[in-house]
Structure 1
Amino acid sequence: MIMHPGVLALFTGSLLTSAMILYAGWYGVRILRNWDLSSGSELQLALEKRTYLISTLLTYALGFELISLFLFVFTADRLHLLFSGAMCAAGTLNANGFGYPLLILKLVNFLLAGIWLIVNHADNQGYDYPLIRFKYLLLVPLVPWSLLEFSYLFAYFSGLHADVITSCCGSLFSLERPGIAGDLASLPVEPMRLAFFGTLAATLVSGLYSWRSGKGCYPFAVLSLATLLVSLASLVSFICLYIYQLPSHHCPFCILQGEYHYLGYPIYATLLGGALAGMGTGFLHPWRRRGSLSRAIPRLQRRLAATSVLLFAVFLAIASYQMIFSPFRLGR
Structure 2
Amino acid sequence: MTETLRLVCAGDRFISADLLARALEAELGTDSGTGAPGPPTRIARLDSAWPTSPFADVDGVREASGDPAALAALARGAHALVTHLAPVTREVVEAGRGTLRVIGVTRGGPVNVDLAAAAEASVPVVHLPGRNLGAVAEYCVGTMICAMRGLPAAASGLARGRWDAEGFRYERTGLELRAATVGLVGLGAVGARVAELLGAFGATVLAHDPYADAGTALRAGARMVGLDELLAGSDVVSLHARLTEETRHIVDAAALATMRPGSLLVNTARGELVDAVALDRALEAGHLRGAVLDVFDPEPPAAGDPLLRRPGVFATPHLAGASTQVAEESAARIAREVAAVLTGGRGGGGGQGV
TM-score computed with the length of structure 2 as normaliser: 0.23
RCO higher in 1 or 2 (8 Å CA, sep ≥ 6)? 1
Report which of the two has the higher share of helix: 1
Report which of the two has the higher share of strand: 2
